[in-house]
Structure 1
């Protein structure tokens, strides 16, 4: 009888663990495969990984957020299919054609940012609206959208040249090769100051930003209202946590010393 009671006492905690609901895995997606958002080959680094870790802790075991990079074209398909439990971080409604915020849930802001026009210091451009970029060669990561520039690109008045990453465009501009300008967010440009493959002294940042300051939030599919409510509450708390956006430390860039992309 004593042995039976002992056995039951030993098995009850194990049974409770088996009956406890497992944390739901949610992909915390970014389509930026560069600093400060994501560090290829270093999944624990970058702001997206830091945010995933914080959200997992704050959920108390309900969710396990996994930081992943998904190219923009693929992300659009996955959102349309709605087959994955995912949240897209560090984005704004206009990036997804949702200015009225009706296609998706949108949390409050994680941070503010602005888009800058960068050109060679040897041939500087001052930005005064899209028309001021007519006749220029524009370098941008493939799949990234620029609605204000698309009409001029479609008309052939701006020549778009796709590059693997934004730092490739900045390298080419610094060397004044093939490109006249690119657009880069201030957050990314600040992060790239920690890199060794870009000579910022060779770049000119237009005095007028391409956009006014805008909020970077999280996109949540409409089919996930409970997840959205958790994230909205989490953002309210994270808004007072300055360590979330503290500059991360990155490993030495393996591309240092290599020639810019052509």
Structure 2
């Protein structure tokens, strides 16, 4: 080896040393990653995340993450952060993983994404006896639809206008249901998973008064995402293999079914 180094140019020797150091550093980095921190945005709601004195770190997304990471040897913790700070920390350090959809993210290729593990659907909820049948945005023209204030609904945005759909904003799903029950709205636009959870756990809202219109108005796919350049590239492959196993053996469906 010494003889070889004697006849190599100095620049090549330095390159070899630097590369070896990089390999050692990367290996050491990978070896240190035995835990990961999920950030929870303030906008996230049950049953995706359930945060409280008696239910810290629970909900669909944390349950799926734990089921994926457990056999891979990782421990998982979570931290609740304002949305912008969470994304900044995900990119620059401090948190490691988040759950979202590529469709909702500006320039999604800034991050590493796993394969999808659950759908996220916006659906219409109407009164139980209403004849509403959603076949496309035009089928809502002339109607009043309650929405969450500040939320964007891509499939309908171009139809919220005079002569189209009248948008009525409300601060929460419960407030939207009240508008619907009082006849102030013809339908409300809700997240399927969230409304299933609300109607299952809030019997005081009298779920029998409402009906979910089955065709989704909008659809996206939840994935886990990691920052680039911080050693998580191999982990994404491990996540994907584990998610495929969970889909095949039914364990992923079993987690999702607990919240329906």
Give the structure-2-normalised TM-score: 0.66
Structure 1 CA distance for aligned equivalents of residues 97 and 131 of structure 2: 38
Residue matched to 2:45? 33
Structure 2 CA distance for aligned equivalents of residues 230 and 163 of structure 1: 41
| Aligned partner of 1:238 among 242, 246, 251 | 246
Cα 1:77–1:28 shift into 2, 3 Å:
closer
Structure 2 CA distance for aligned equivalents of residues 227 and 47 of structure 1: 21
- Displacement of 1:210 after TM fit? 1.9
Give the aligned length. 219
Structure 2 CA distance for aligned equivalents of residues 165 and 38 of structure 1: 16
Q: Would you say the 8 A contact 2:141–2:163 is kept in 1?
A: no
Residue matched to 1:96? 105
The structure with more radius of gyration: 2
Q: 5+ residue gaps in structure 1?
A: 1-19, 250-262
Structure 2 CA distance for aligned equivalents of residues 94 and 21 of structure 1: 32
Q: Would you say the 8 A contact 1:87–1:221 is kept in 2?
A: yes
- Displacement of 1:25 after TM fit? 3.6
Which structure has greater helix proportion? 2
Aligned alpha-carbon RMSD (Å): 3.5
**1:60 to 2:68 alignment:** no
Structure 2 CA distance for aligned equivalents of residues 135 and 76 of structure 1: 37
Give the structure-1-normalised TM-score: 0.65
* Farther off after superposition, 203-212 or 38-47: 203-212
Q: Residues 47-196 of structure 1 correspond to what in structure 2 (within 5 A)?
A: 47-61=60-74, 64-68=75-79, 74-75=82-83, 78-79=86-87, 82-83=91-92, 84-89=94-99, 91-96=100-105, 102-112=109-119, 114-121=121-128, 123-153=130-160, 157-173=164-180, 175-195=181-201, 196=203
Q: Deviations over 1:15-36 (max 9, x none)?
A: xxxxx9474442154643122x
Cα 1:142–1:24 shift into 2, 3 Å:
farther
Q: 5+ residue gaps in structure 2?
A: 1-30
SS of the counterpart of 1:209? strand
Q: Deviations over 1:214-241 (max 9, x none)?
A: 5432233344434433432332333232
Residue matched to 1:247? 258
